[in-house]
Amino acid sequence: MNKVLSQQYFSRPTVQVARSLIGKYLVRSIDGRAIAGKIIEVEAYVGPQDKACHASKGRTKRTDVLFGPPGQSYVYLIYGMYHCLNVVTEQEEFPAAVLIRAIEVDGVLIDGPGRLCRALQIDRSLNRIDLTTQEFLWFEDRGGRIVQGQIASLPRIGVDYAGVWAMKLWRFRLQAALKAGTRRNRE
């Protein structure tokens, strides 16, 4: 039985939510058809002190969604061309989120937040939507279990500017996917 993840699920500490999302499913409804991808890799961004978190520079029009209720989407554009999908976590007024970096759809790894958003047709029109309502875009628990030893904890990617915050082991990736990605990168 597929269970849509609730607002309460996302109201927990961000790093805990991030790790627990590995093995869950991201589901996108496009023209009445559901596309589901098993979540393979995520990154946690935890509050205003985290220099890698967009909210570290304060509350702006762009980052306002991070201060909202847990379970909302935060979709933004990077490099003027790639969208990234995050889910807001913790409590209102504490800006934190989890970036979805990679999923597996029908045995195919979609690696990278920009590729993921392109494959699922996610753009800023889906910013600030409720991801707990099973409409447009949502997360599901499909009953599969991932044991802690199967999850690698790694530094986050592309946040060198964040100093010591860049070295936080807040990127989580399914070990089997990590090995496959390493092989692919050498080819």
Q: Which has the minimum average pLDDT: 76-80, 105-109, 153-157, 171-175? A: 76-80
99 forms beta bridges with: 43, 86
Residue 26 backbone class (left: φ over 0; alpha: ψ -120 to 50; beta: rest): beta
Q: What is the mean pLDDT of residues 154-163?
A: 95
Question: In the prediction, which pLDDT does 145 show?
Answer: 87
Q: How confident is the model at residue 182 (pLDDT cuts 50, 70, 90)?
A: very low
Q: What is the pLDDT of residues 34-75, one digit of tens each?
A: 999 999 999 999 999 999 999 999 999 999 999 999 999 999
Residue 26: is its pLDDT beyond 90? yes
Residue 19: is its pLDDT beyond 70? yes
CA-closest candidate to residue 122, choices 142, 141, 140, 100:
100
Q: What is the mean pLDDT of residues 141-146?
A: 92
Instruction: Give the pair of three-digit tokens for residue 108.
Output: 């195919």
The residue ranges of every structural domain in the chain are 3-186
102 forms beta bridges with: 41, 111
CATH class of 3-186: alpha beta
